[in-house]
Amino acid sequence: MTTAVPPSPAAARTDLSVWPASARPAPDGDVAVGGVPLAEAAERFGTPLYLLDEYEVRERCRTYLRSFPDTDVLYAAKAFLCHALLHWVREEGLGLDVCSAGELEYAVAAGFPSDRIVLHGNAKSPQDLEAALRLGVGRVVIDSAWEIARIAAPVPAGTRQKVLVRVVPGVSAGGHVAIRTGTDDQKFGLSVADGGAEHAVARILDQPRLELVGLHCHIGSQITEPGPYVTALRTVVALLARIRDRHGTVLPELDLGGGHAVAHRPGETALDIPALGARVRRELAASCAGAGLPVPRLAVEPGRALVGPAGVALYRVLAVKRTGARAFVAVDGGMSDNPRPALYGARYAPRLVGRRTTAAPRTATVVGRHCEAGDVLAADVALPGDVRPGDLIAVPVAGAYHLSMASSYNAVGRPPVVAVADGRARLLVRRESLADIRSRDVGL
């Protein structure tokens, strides 16, 4: 990822470049998102709190559809999942990518058409496959040779389940080693280099209850340039040509996955989606022409890029501690609602909201309330030197992989989610209570 260039102190107080497009600063030091002042939302719903800008999500869906015409755009539900969000992406014309029976059942219960859903997973359970077949999922992505017979066996006689094969194109891309999935040294997919992908294709073509409709690849996350996708595309098209030559089968679909980078801090590079769409479609047409193949139906799977920049997390400061040259600002959330800094070293740009200040900025580390030294939300960031308990801290680009990866560590309930639009705020997901946590404990 491109290294962020820190803004000047004055610019940092006004820079809303990574916030939702609706974000507006207020004279009293607050910020409004979707026409809703953040301090007002915090007072009404409490903190920690997640706000999700509905129009930002919808506009990002539309950007993908404009950038990838005649393409299946599938929202990667693992980024964040709730009924309202499913409703928004369905209304905007997107399909869905799920990774478990739980996500699948959740989506279908919310009214999402099962034939527009693709099921992924490197280790699908019997429950995952049972749900996929029972609910009529549109595609199952085969991730290993072991899955072929397991998927085929329960398919009802006289029917066929459409499947894709996830291949590993040997492309290393992504913002952190833990999210690079396009090489042979990780758990996903079947290798192109060692012949594993072609062997799986041959086995699937021999299964009368499976219909192989295409290939799939996902090379990583937080990818900032189109180049890695083009490299992967060329490798996969070459494989499509070999499948045609060896088996006489022309596969009609190609899924290039997601992993499109967003900027979490001013100065970082986000992937240009219109440029990606133009480049990928151009290269796909050229590669297929060179191989004598018809252009397959393309699919992409954005998750973070749709909902990440639409979310804002709000925290209340509980304590400020200065130790030597270091300042720690402790808030009422932490790694239980955002584990990404601990898992991936994710960096954010928190901001004081809700009051004016003329204090000079001071380097501080925003930490959570949990009993872990690694419970850090934002290390070495600029905050006003007079930050104090009771202040409100806002963290933009908080819509993806926060609550979807959250826990109830230390018996701290997960925060609520509130949608904002047109100056109105409405609760989407309520706060998790201690009663919710205790209800799972059945006793001695």
pLDDT at 5 over 50: no
Please say whether the beta carbons of 288 and 215 come within 8 A: no
Q: What is the pLDDT of residues 216-237, one digit of tens each?
A: 999 888 999 999 999 999 999 9
User: Measured between alpha carbons, how far is 79 from 75 in angstroms, rounded to an integer?
Assistant: 9
pLDDT at 122 over 50: yes
pLDDT at 325 over 90: no
CA angle, corner 35, sides to 366 and 81, nearest 5? 65
Domain with CATH 3.20.20.10 in the chain: 54-305
CA angle, corner 247, sides to 242 and 251, nearest 5? 70
pLDDT at 341 over 80: yes
- Choice among 99, 217, 288, 371 that is catalytic: 371
Q: How confident is the model at residue 252 (pLDDT cuts 50, 70, 90)?
A: very high
Instruction: Give the DSSP H/E element, type plus range, for residue 215.
Output: strand 210-216
pLDDT for residue 103: 97
pLDDT at 50 over 70: yes
371 annotated active-site: yes
Q: Which of 2-11, 176-185, 328-337 has the highest mean pLDDT?
A: 328-337
Q: What is the pLDDT of residues 77-109, one digit of tens each?
A: 999 999 999 999 999 999 999 999 999 999 999
- Could you tell me which CATH number the domain at 9-53+309-438 has? 2.40.37.10
Exposed / middle / buried, residue 111 (Cβ in 10 Å: 0-12, 13-18, 19+):
exposed
Domain with CATH 2.40.37.10 in the chain: 9-53+309-438
- Could you give the dihedral angle defined by the CA atoms of residues 172, 173, 176 and 181, in that order, rounded to the nearest 10 degrees? -60
Please state the φ and ψ torsions of residue 117, each to the nearest 5 degrees: -115, 140
pLDDT for residue 3: 42
- Could you tell me which CATH number the domain at 54-305 has? 3.20.20.10
**Residue 243: closest CA among 206, 187, 197:** 197
Least confident of 7-16, 250-259, 280-289, 335-344: 7-16
User: Measured between alpha carbons, how far is 128 from 92 in angstroms, rounded to an integer?
Assistant: 27
Instruction: Give the DSSP H/E element, type plus range, for residue 162.
Output: strand 161-168
Q: What is the pLDDT of residues 366-398, one digit of tens each?
A: 999 999 999 999 999 999 999 999 999 999 999
Q: What is the pTM of this model?
A: 0.93
pLDDT for residue 7: 46
Mean pLDDT (the chain) is: 92
Task: State both tokens at 428.
Answer: 């989407």
pLDDT average, residue stretch 252-268: 96
User: Measured between alpha carbons, how far is 106 from 104 in angstroms, rounded to an integer?
Assistant: 5
CA angle, corner 166, sides to 249 and 99, nearest 5? 130
User: Measured between alpha carbons, how far is 359 from 366 in angstroms, rounded to an integer?
Assistant: 18
Written as one letter, the residue type at 269 is T
Q: What is the pLDDT of residues 171-218, one digit of tens each?
A: 765 554 544 444 556 567 898 888 889 999 999 999 999 999 999 999
Half-sphere exposure in the Cβ direction for 148 (13 Å, CA): 21
Please say whether the beta carbons of 57 and 89 come within 8 A: yes
Please say whether the beta carbons of 427 and 45 come within 8 A: yes
Please say whether the beta carbons of 418 and 52 come within 8 A: yes
pLDDT at 12 over 90: no
Please state the φ and ψ torsions of residue 21, each to the nearest 5 degrees: -60, -25
Q: How confident is the model at residue 344 (pLDDT cuts 50, 70, 90)?
A: confident
Residues contacting residue 111 through CB under 8 Å, at least 6 positions apart? 86, 87, 90
User: Measured between alpha carbons, how far is 3 from 266 in angstroms, rounded to an integer?
Assistant: 10
